[in-house]
Structure 1
Amino acid sequence: MQAKAIISDGKGTFNLSTVTINPPGEGEVRVKIMAAGLCHTDWDSITNWNKTFVVGHEGAGIVESVGKNVTDVSVGDKVILNWAIPCGKCFQCRQGNLHICERHSPVCGCGLEGHAHIDTTTHDESPIERSFHLGTLCEYAVVKAQAVVKIDSDIPFAAASIVGCGVMTGWGSVVNAAKVEAGSSVCVIGCGGVGLNAIQGAKQSGASKIIAIDISEARLEQAKEFGATHGVVANREDLDFVQVREEVRTLTDGRGADYAFECTAIPALGSAPLALVRNAGTAVQVSGIEQRIDFDCELFEWDKKYINPLYGMCNPERDFKKIIAGYHNKQIKLEELVTKTYTLENVADGFDDMLNGRIAKGVVLIGELGEVGAIK
Structure 2
Amino acid sequence: MKSKAAILWGTGQPWSVEEIELDAPQHQEVLVRIEAAGMCHSDDHVRLGDGYAALPTIGGHEGAGVIEAVGPGIENLAVGDHVVFSFLPACGRCQWCAIGRSNLCDFGAFLMEGSMISGGYRAHAQGKDVGTLSLVGTFSERTVVHESSIVKIDQDIPFEVACLLGCGVPTGWGSAVNIGEVKPGETVVVVGIGGIGANAVQGARMCGAENIVAIDPVTFKTDQAKILGATHTASSMEEAVPLLQEITRGVMADVGVCTVGIVEGWMIQPFMDLVSKGGRAVLTGMARNVDDSPKLGMQMFSLFEKSLLGTVYGGCNPRADIPKLASLYKSGKLQLDELVTRTYSLDQINEGYADMLAGKNIRGVIVNEF
Q: TM-score range by the shorter chain?
A: over 0.9
Residue in structure 1 matched with residue 221 of structure 2 by the alignment: 219
Specify every segment of 5 or more residues in structure 1 that has no aligned partner in the other structure, as ranges. 235-240, 369-376
Q: Alpha-carbon deviation of 1:299?
A: 4.8
Q: Does the aligned pair in 2 maintain the 1:9–1:50 contact within 8 Å?
A: no
- Partner amino acid, structure 2, of 1:2: K
Q: Alpha-carbon deviation of 1:249?
A: 1.5
Q: Alpha-carbon deviation of 1:98?
A: 0.8
Distance 2:232 2:137 in 1: 38
Q: Is 1:99–2:100 an aligned residue pair?
A: no
Describe the shift of the 1:323–1:105 C-alpha distance in structure 2 as closer, same or farther (beyond 3 A). farther
- Give the SS at the match of 2:45: helix
- Partner amino acid, structure 1, of 2:255: Y
Residue in structure 2 matched with residue 66 of structure 1 by the alignment: 70
Residue in structure 1 matched with residue 269 of structure 2 by the alignment: 271
Q: Does the aligned pair in 1 maintain the 2:115–2:135 contact within 8 Å?
A: no
Once the two structures are superposed, the pairs formed by residues 288-367 of structure 1 within 5 Å of their partners are 288-289=286-287, 290=289, 291-292=291-292, 293-300=294-301, 301-367=303-369
Residue in structure 2 matched with residue 57 of structure 1 by the alignment: 61
Q: Does the aligned pair in 1 maintain the 2:67–2:80 contact within 8 Å?
A: yes
Q: Alpha-carbon deviation of 1:105?
A: 4.3
TM-score (norm 1): 0.91
Describe the shift of the 1:166–1:10 C-alpha distance in structure 2 as closer, same or farther (beyond 3 A). farther
Q: For each residue in 1:162-212, what CA deviation from the matched residue of structure 2 results, as whole angstroms up to 9, or x when unmatched? A: 111111110111112122111211111111221110000011111111111
Distance 2:10 2:61 in 1: 15
Q: Alpha-carbon deviation of 1:367?
A: 3.6
- Partner amino acid, structure 2, of 1:251: I
Distance 1:106 1:353 in 2: 30
Q: Aligned residues: percent identity?
A: 34
Distance 2:344 2:115 in 1: 32
- Partner amino acid, structure 2, of 1:286: T
TM-score (norm 2): 0.93
Q: Is 1:248–2:249 an aligned residue pair?
A: no
Q: Which of residues 254, 258, 264 in structure 2 aligns to 1:262?
A: 258
- Partner amino acid, structure 2, of 1:57: H
- Partner amino acid, structure 1, of 2:184: A
Distance 1:242 1:39 in 2: 27
Distance 2:118 2:354 in 1: 31
Distance 2:335 2:239 in 1: 31
Q: For each residue in 1:315-357, what CA deviation from the matched residue of structure 2 results, as whole angstroms up to 9, or x when unmatched? A: 0111111111111121111111110000011111101101111
Output the aligned Cα RMSD: 1.8
Distance 1:134 1:177 in 2: 26
Q: Is 1:75–2:79 an aligned residue pair?
A: yes
Q: Does the aligned pair in 1 maintain the 2:91–2:148 contact within 8 Å?
A: yes
Specify every segment of 5 or more residues in structure 2 that has no aligned partner in the other structure, as ranges. none
- Partner amino acid, structure 2, of 1:34: E
Distance 1:365 1:132 in 2: 20
Residue range with higher mean Cα deviation, 268-277 or 217-226: 268-277
Residue in structure 2 matched with residue 39 of structure 1 by the alignment: 40
Distance 1:95 1:114 in 2: 25
Q: For each residue in 1:269-325, what CA deviation from the matched residue of structure 2 results, as whole angstroms up to 9, or x when unmatched? A: 233331111111101101132522121224514111110111111201111111111
Distance 2:369 2:117 in 1: 23
Q: Does the aligned pair in 2 maintain the 1:84–1:106 contact within 8 Å?
A: no
